Amino acid sequence: MKANQERLINLLLKKNDKLSESLVRTWIELLWDDFETTQAKAGRDYLGSDMTERIVQQWVESYGSRLDEFVANNPKYKHFLNQENNKYQ
């Protein structure tokens, strides 16, 4: 799983140069956990980390360049992503 997440971190760093590496790590962890938690709550069978990686990769490909804009519109996640001189407050 760690290698899967490292690939996604590198991908997101390439997609969005406005995010620091630590913030990108946080994003990947949030997206990863969100997908797996949602699947579990829905009662779906666990399909493994490769499936999770594919889904998160799709999200990064589609939305990665705009993730820095997400916090402004979704204050629910501010406390997870707040760093670097309170950049998102």
DSSP state, residue 19 = S
Quote the CA–CA distance of 66 and 27 in Å, as a whole number. 12
pLDDT at 89 (0 to 100) = 41
H helices of the chain, in order, are 2-15, 21-41, 49-63, 67-73, 78-81
pLDDT confidence bin for 18, thresholds 50/70/90? confident
b/e string for 2-12 if b means 16 or more Cβ within 10 A?
eebbeebbebb
Predicted TM-score (pTM) of this structure: 0.81
Quote the CA–CA distance of 35 and 82 in Å, as a whole number. 21
% of the chain at pLDDT higher than 70: 80
pLDDT at 86 (0 to 100) = 44
